[in-house]
Amino acid sequence: MAESIDTHTLGEKIVSILKTIFDPEIPVDIYELGLIYDVFVNEDMEVKILMTLTTPNCPVAETLPMEVEEKVKSIDEVKSVEVEITFDPPWTQDLMSEEAKLELGML
């Protein structure tokens, strides 16, 4: 019998996957950059990711959300993935983690 996984554990796996996706213009992963606003996982293991881009005209506006969706879908327990892009609130450098700021020499 397959071992069941809870939504919290699945959320942690999703964050681990998100930390493998990098903005091509900034050498920091999208999670530490603060581009991921929220990750929702329901009891049916359906995932919704609310994210933003550094700017509305970001060159990866078409490909980055698809990469997020495909990588999260690769987790066996995930039934479906929806990636929603928002610009409210707009991304600022204040959303970056301390780790990201340190990596970019901003501290």
- Are the beta carbons of 101 and 34 closer than 8 angstroms? no
Q: Per-residue pLDDT for the chain (107 aa), expressed as one digit of tens each?
A: 345 678 889 999 999 999 999 988 888 999 999 999 999 999 999 999 999 998 888 888 889 999 999 999 999 999 999 999 999 999 999 999 999 999 899 98
| pTM of the entire predicted model | 0.90
CB-CB contact of 19 with 13 (8 Å): no
Provide the β-strand partners of residue 96.
Answer: none
Domains of the chain, earliest start first: 7-91 (3.30.300.130)
Nearest to 96 by CA among 50, 47, 52: 52
> For residues 52 and 9, what is the distance between their CA atoms, to the nearest angstrom?
24
pLDDT value of residue 2: 43
Produce one character per residue of 69-101: b if its CB has 16 or more CB atoms within 10 Å, e if not.
beebeebebbeebebebeeeeebeeebbeeebb
Tell me, what amino acid is at 69? E
Q: What pLDDT is stored for residue 1 in this prediction?
A: 34
How far from each other are the two terminal CA atoms of the chain, in whole angstroms?
49
